[in-house]
Amino acid sequence: MSASAESHRTTLANPPNAMSSEVAEFLAKPKKLFIGGQWHDSRSGQTFDTVDPSTGRAIATVAEGQAEDIDRAVAAARKAFDDSAWSRMRPMERERLLHNLADLIEKHADTIAEIEALDNGKSVVIARHVDVKHAIEVYRYMAGWPSKIEGQTLPLSGSLLPDQTFVGYSLREPVGVVGAIIAWNFPFLLATWKLAPALAAGCTVVLKPAEETPLSALFLGQLITQAGFPEGVVNIVPGFGDTAGAALSSHPDVDKVTFTGSTEVGRLIARAAAGNMKKVTLELGGKSPTIVFGDVDADAAIAGAASAIFFNHGQTCCAGSRLYVQSKRFDEIVEGVSEVARKLKLGPGLNPETQIGPLVSATQRERVMSYISQGMADGAKAVAGGHALDTDGYFVEPTVFTNVNAEMSIVREEIFGPVVVAAKFDDLDEIAAVANQTSYGLAASIWTKDINTVHRLAPKLRAGTVWVNCHNVLDPAMPFGGYKQSGWGRELGKEALNSYLESKSMCINI
């Protein structure tokens, strides 16, 4: 690719002994499928390699689950769902198991962070202090729910009731067997967003991690057993999307499918789920605007806008990938963000100095570079970055584009890399329309000191989260998800829990 050779950047190297002995031991063990509480080879005997994206070298060989393995895992999950060890377990005991799991994750947090850094490429420091720390809190937040899942008393009084006495109330019950299919950008965290509420609700789960990043889910399988969950409550089947993923999303004995990934695959999953009318939650792509007004403090807005896009190398569904700045401050803010982009240190995830790791795969690097090339061909100007690094790892420079227009693919489509497009705006109504000029609706951020601006603009934004003077901030109690083609339903908070519960109305003639 022409854009790839010109970069003069160098990457950091890993310090000697960057990998701990616990991680080396884990990597050396066979990587099997976790089904019914046991570790199995796949029925076909097939395996696949997972690579370290900072070197392109294989780090582990993993059993490849396919349709027949998914069948086996779903059968184990169904059996566990029906079995009294789980279905009749007291809610407070479910809470204890979730707390046990959170404690075990905390005990092994450094190990999980290292596995994540190796398999995904992200900084080990971020993995430890964002991905794993947040995961622990989500398990603990959801562990609080089981004993508090309540129905309602229903005051039945309509004229259709016969002239007798009725008692009405509702119950919340687990939806059943859940198929969870996740992406590779936050492997451990996304598994948590599905597992924690599903288990709190009393569901059983078959989890299919992304083929790029199966390792932290397999490590989690060991902790599930140690935490004391009955066999088959959680099953973990690594494999590819069009085989294992497709089998899980169309399986007739799965009651709900929950997915995080591309909008394109979200559409396939919704179709596959229609066969037996599975309940569906989808957390899909985004093209979120970062909207900077002219009254901001420059340092905070520049740091915030840079972090909005470059956090996790732009491989974040809610990344602030469209930067809109009020005209009078445009040059200053965009130059500031570009300066940050030029100074960010690229390197492997295991080096604690690394600020931008490699993209997850060669495919992702090619996808991002083809957007960058297309942007240049369309007349956009890369004022920072614009190149892939000439190394075996999948590094792409943090890139800032100006001279963009609404027709360009770099402005319209999710790039999912460290690439931001910057454009000017003048007034609030104009920016509201431009911000919504996308098929996505996951998130937006507004940067201003003016409370009136916030309250006038936020209601106009068609987005599931609106951050004010911050971006990419998540909390276990705050629902997260998308309007429009960014998805169906919400992760986190009570809304996520409710999506794993059915409602049963009881109507009793006494």
The residues annotated as belonging to the active site are 283, 317
d(CA 47, CA 274): 30
For the bound state, the minimum distance from the C-beta of residue 277 to ligand NAI, rounded and expressed in Å, comes to: 17
For the bound state, the minimum distance from the C-beta of residue 239 to ligand NAI, rounded and expressed in Å, comes to: 7
Site residues for ligand NAI, 24-53, by CB under 6 A, read none
* Ranges of H-type helices in 378-466: 409-412, 428-435, 451-457
Neighbours of 335 (CB within 10 A): 15
Report CA-CA distances (Å) from 83 to 130, 173, 174, 288, 500.
36, 15, 14, 44, 18
Which pair of tokens denotes residue 294? 């002219």
d(CA 65, CA 436): 40
Does 261 engage in binding with ligand NAI (CB under 6 A)?
yes
- Which of 210, 121, 18, 123 shows the shortest CA–CA distance to 393? 121
For the bound state, the minimum distance from the C-beta of residue 315 to ligand NAI, rounded and expressed in Å, comes to: 7
Contacting residue, 77, 80, 126, 317, with ligand NAI by CB under 6 A: 317
User: Are 200 and 142 spatial neighbours (Cβ–Cβ below 8 Å)?
Assistant: yes
For the bound state, the minimum distance from the C-beta of residue 395 to ligand NAI, rounded and expressed in Å, comes to: 16
Number of residues this chain uses to bind ligand NAI (CB under 6 A) = 25
d(CA 294, CA 446): 11
Does 309 engage in binding with ligand NAI (CB under 6 A)?
no
Helix (H) or strand (E) holding 21: helix 21-28
Site residues for ligand NAI, 159-218, by CB under 6 A, read 181-183, 185, 208, 210-211
The residue among 208 and 278 lying less far from ligand NAI, judged by its C-beta, is 208
d(CA 501, CA 200): 10
- Burial, 96: exposed, middle or buried (Cβ in 10 Å; 0-12, 13-18, 19+)? middle
User: Mask: binding to ligand NAI, 214-253, rule CB under 6 A, as x and -?
Assistant: --------------------------xxx--xx--x----
Sheet of strand 166-174, all strands in order from the earlier edge strand to the far edge: 153-154, 166-174, 501-509
For the bound state, the minimum distance from the C-beta of residue 278 to ligand NAI, rounded and expressed in Å, comes to: 12
Site residues for ligand NAI, 123-142, by CB under 6 A, read none
Contacting residue, 40, 133, 367, 494, with ligand NAI by CB under 6 A: 367
For the bound state, the minimum distance from the C-beta of residue 415 to ligand NAI, rounded and expressed in Å, comes to: 7
For the bound state, the minimum distance from the C-beta of residue 7 to ligand NAI, rounded and expressed in Å, comes to: 21
For the bound state, the minimum distance from the C-beta of residue 48 to ligand NAI, rounded and expressed in Å, comes to: 11
Which pair of tokens denotes residue 363? 């495919």
| 8-16, 110-118, 254-262, 390-398 -> range binding ligand NAI (CB under 6 A) | 254-262
The residue among 65 and 174 lying less far from ligand NAI, judged by its C-beta, is 65
Site residues for ligand NAI, 73-102, by CB under 6 A, read none
Report CA-CA distances (Å) from 159 to 81, 169, 192.
39, 18, 47
- Which of 55, 153, 3 shows the shortest CA–CA distance to 350? 55
- Which of 181, 186, 208 shows the shortest CA–CA distance to 35? 208
User: Are 140 and 102 spatial neighbours (Cβ–Cβ below 8 Å)?
Assistant: yes
3-state percent breakdown (helix, strand, coil) of the chain, nearest 5? 40, 20, 35
- Which of 473, 465, 431, 463 shows the shortest CA–CA distance to 448? 431
Which pair of tokens denotes residue 238? 């690594």
The residue among 244 and 457 lying less far from ligand NAI, judged by its C-beta, is 244
User: Mask: binding to ligand NAI, 382-421, rule CB under 6 A, as x and -?
Assistant: --------------------------------x-x-----
Contacting residue, 177, 265, 341, 428, with ligand NAI by CB under 6 A: 265
Coil, strand or helix at 126: helix
Which pair of tokens denotes residue 434? 């431009």
The residue among 348 and 417 lying less far from ligand NAI, judged by its C-beta, is 417
Contacting residue, 3, 70, 73, 269, with ligand NAI by CB under 6 A: 269
The residue among 242 and 475 lying less far from ligand NAI, judged by its C-beta, is 242
The residue among 191 and 292 lying less far from ligand NAI, judged by its C-beta, is 191
The residue among 66 and 351 lying less far from ligand NAI, judged by its C-beta, is 66
**What residues line the site for ligand NAI (CB under 6 A)?**
181-183, 185, 208, 210-211, 240-242, 245-246, 249, 260-262, 265, 268-269, 284-285, 317, 367, 414, 416
